[in-house]
Amino acid sequence: MPIVVESLNEATHQDQQDLQKIYRDAPDWLFAPFKDDLHLIESNLHDGTLIAGRFNDRLLGAARLQRAPDVWHLSQLCVRKITRRRGVAERLVSEAQKMAEQQGAKLRLLAPAGHLEAQALAAKLHLPLDVI
């Protein structure tokens, strides 16, 4: 069964638990400008900017997707530690690119300046990187 990428506007109790597990192992810099994982989750669920990868009814990865007319920014991308290195992040990015292209926009990664992990991911996925 493939990983299904979806926009999350509401989250079940299980989804909330999964999102907390996804972001539990994230480095602190990933949460900027949010103060912590709970603030990131709640804020992005509320404004409809959270996308997630689901496999067998469980969320494995999530990211913030900010939509503008010409450019969409993907940030706060994180995958559960136990499911990393299995293509979940690439699937999230690929689907975000498709969604952006369908709306006539380009997808770019967004990360704080100087973070090598974000630079490496952008290079691997062939995406431009904007810094905050």
The predicted pLDDT at position 117 comes to: 79
Nearest-angstrom CA–CA distance, 44 and 29:
17
The predicted pLDDT at position 62 comes to: 95
Q: Which of 116, 24, 115 is nearest to 78 (CA)?
A: 24
pLDDT tens-digit readout, 67-120: 999 999 999 999 998 888 888 988 999 999 999 999 999 999 988 887 787 888
Q: Which domains does the chain have, with CATH numbers?
A: 4-131 (3.40.630.30)
Q: What is the pTM of this model?
A: 0.89
Q: Is beta strand 129-131 parallel, antiparallel or unpaired with respect to 106-111?
A: parallel
Q: Which of 108, 114, 16 is nearest to 64 (CA)?
A: 108
**Are 23 and 37 a contacting pair, CB within 8 Å?**
yes
Give the type of residue at 56.
N
The predicted pLDDT at position 9 comes to: 86
The predicted pLDDT at position 1 comes to: 59
pLDDT tens-digit readout, 3-47: 899 999 889 999 999 999 999 988 888 888 888 999 999 999 989
